[in-house]
Chains A and B, each alone.
Chain A
Amino acid sequence: MSMEVTAQNFEANAAKALRDPNLRKAMGIISGPMASRRVETARELPEFEALRDEGVKIKNHVLQHIDLYLEKFEQQLTARGGKLHWCRTPREARETVLALCRSRDAKIVTKGKSMVTEEIGLNDFLLEHGITPVETDLGEYIIQLAHEPPSHIIGPALHKTREQIADLFEEHHPDYELNGKKAGTRSTEPQVLVTEARSVLRDTYFRADVGITGANFLIAETGATVIVTNEGNGDLTQSLPKMHIAVSSIEKVIPTLEDLSTILRVLARSATGQEMSCYTTLSCGPKRAEDIDGPEEFHVVLVDNGRSEMLGTALQPLLRCIRCGACMNNCPVYHSVGGHAYGWVYPGPIGAALDPHMIGLETARHLPNASTFCGKCEEVCPMRIPLPDIMRHWRELAHEQQITPPLQRWGIEAWAFAAKHPWLYRLGARVAIAALKLLGKDKGRIASLPLASGWTDGRDFPAPQSADTFMSQYKKRSH
């Protein structure tokens, strides 16, 4: 299901998420095991920090010469019998994929996990045109059954509990029967659920006319596309049908296989805390005469969708992103509200920095504001993307363009006016703390402040220690 934009309703989305007991239960795995596994596997690799620096260097170099590397990639891809389709907009990309599917008279397409296909809204578009996309990544398959968008860029169904998944399978697989599990019964055992999804999907792989995957990397020197998965579903998706379409975006290009090996060493460690993901698959063109299997046609649909506009701007570092998800796995706000609250394809800190560019600052204005600026995302980002700085950049634009609500804007400007006039500031401060001190009465704290209900609804407000500021007390002491 492609994603309806609800980023403008972040506050309501967040409020709903905070009251969703299933979501709260499911989020425990991200804030707990996923975050701590990253720390452990990184610690076990002495050169982890050096590899991060090397990865940043590789990506920065590519971004400075991206035209060159993309052309090189196309040359190599073409030489191996593949075809590159350049697409500026999501619409161009959707139309291109549709035309390719139609050329094969496709009814069913299997899909490996791809955030770019979410970004361009591919699934709904194919459905509207009579083609059934079937997601083969377990998480994507689950949310496809639930008619929901992904909530995490590498774990699309992380917001679902085992119980919810069992319910979905029971509803959608009425005839399934295997390994002692009776048709129409329910199991919450992960192994049973995985086996069930696998055997249901197995048949689809053979019926599919086209296989669509994403690509984590495009290798310029060989023209290969690369996917990393843990389930092996991507391999079946791309090698069984007659046509393989890899949908990817321009910043995924890297110069060499050597660079790939460098970045792969930080990718899985940052993402799931694995040393390597189970499968790293390179697609090097269609089936050759001497190959026993593989697709007859290999197409790469390369999406720009605003990325080239980011080059040379404050947003350029975002193009280093390798979509590992470490920023959301470690974000306190994401832990509280989950991915759907962000209201578009890319949630968490990377979404807060990227989405305003993709869907407009007015629509996405909450996202860069809904951050404590704790800096954890930048600390864990393998590509050292300065995510808080980029969120601040959006806050500055929102302030300049008066997208920030007037009350907030005037509030900060009034405060700043006082801060620029110390006598006025001191006067205001004395009045404010005297009042707060009074409200704190003999308890030392205030249970309710109408103008700061955001604070006092869930917390007491500690009263000032004294009705006199430090500056004033200090002055009295030294005279």
Chain B
Amino acid sequence: MSSIDSKPRVALFVTCLVDLFRPSVGFATLKLLEDAGCVVSVPEAQVCCGQPAYNSGDRKDTVAIARQVIEAFEDYDYVVAPSGSCGGMIKDHYPALFAAEPDWQRRAEDLSARMFELTSFLVDVLKADPVAAKLEAKVTYHDSCSGLRELGVKAQPRALLGSVEGVELVEMQTPETCCGFGGTFCVKYGEVSTDIVTRKTADIAGTGADMLLAGDMGCLLNMAGRLKREGSSIQVRHVAEVLAGMTDMPAIGESK
């Protein structure tokens, strides 16, 4: 299914949180993919991967949304999302949704095989050259649960950050521990969620880093929300912004 000029045709799955809260992450992702030699499209029929319905137990709506996503992304070599959570939903969970519909299951599996989280796509699939970005910052990296456990995203963002001039990476004691976001969990069980993120922000602050990075907007909004409530000056950004050298706009939860 590769294209005539042999450049991979990649569809961007924007994800709802990037679409709504942080368009700059979408543009950073576009830039990274184009710099790596991809022809990138943004299919207009995309909305959400269906995860909120899936994790709320609304299987019927999940399946309907999944069909829509499968159709919208059928004609591309690869589909890339700046998120391990949405990526994991499509790659890991879609095929099982259609256990009783072989035709749809085949299409879901086909999409699953083409679906990638951004940093793992750049490193594992494109084996891309080091990025050209520069940033003088001491950063720490949070491993988002779905990316880490469903897609094996761990070394890839770190490898890419290693090629950003000026970036020093300092690890948390428990970078793999959940930040407490959990989709609708963060509102339904808000107090528990806040307690979990408070342990996380203590770990973040303990690193002495001046910037927190991760690959998923849900976790980032949650951790930024708590850090800002605590009065912390640690900047919170999606890793794609740093890799694309697009850190001139205010960090998450900030206006300057």
Contact = CB atoms under 8 A, between A and B. Distances in A.
B20 A374 contact: no
A412 B221 CA distance: 21
Nearest to B56: A412
Contact of B253 (A376, A445, A458, A474): A445
Interface in B46-60: 46-48, 50, 52-59
Contacts of B56: 395, 399, 404, 408, 412
B110 interface: no
B145 A471 contact: no
Contacts of B255: 440, 442-444
Contact of B192 (A333, A395, A440): A333
Interface string A5-37: 000000100110010000000000001000000
Contacts of A379: 149
Contacts of B176: 376
A461 interface: yes
B229 A454 contact: no
B75 interface: no
B190 A455 contact: yes
Contacts, number: 220
B65 A420 contact: yes
Nearest to A442: B255
B191 interface: yes
Contact of A455 (B18, B53, B149, B186): B186
Interface string A243-281: 000000000000000000000000000000000000000
Interface string B196-229: 1111000000000000000000000110111011
B62 to A, nearest CB: 8
B189 A429 contact: no
Given A425-B47, A432-B20, A465-B22, A372 B42 contact: no
B187 A374 contact: no
Interface string A450-472: 00111101111111111011110
Contacts of A398: 57
A416 interface: yes
A433 B198 CA distance: 27
Nearest to B22: A465
Given A432-B20, A462-B21, A464-B21, A444 B253 contact: yes
A160 interface: no
Interface in A408-456: 408-409, 412-413, 415-420, 422, 425, 429, 432-433, 440, 442-445, 452-455
B178 A460 contact: no
A160 to B, nearest CB: 20
B57 A397 contact: yes
B68 A469 contact: no
Contacts of B198: 458
B24 interface: yes
The 10 closest A-B pairs by CB, nearest first: A454-B190, A372-B182, A458-B194, A395-B57, A459-B225, A399-B57, A416-B61, A374-B178, A444-B255, A462-B253
Given A369-B188, A462-B225, 13 more contacts: A14-B191, A14-B192, A372-B181, A396-B57, A415-B52, A416-B50, A422-B46, A433-B21, A442-B255, A454-B189, A455-B187, A459-B222, A460-B228
24 contacts: A14-B189, A335-B196, A336-B195, A372-B196, A375-B149, A378-B149, A392-B55, A396-B57, A396-B58, A399-B58, A404-B57, A412-B61, A416-B50, A416-B64, A422-B45, A422-B47, A429-B16, A445-B254, A454-B190, A458-B194, A462-B225, A465-B22, A470-B23, A474-B23
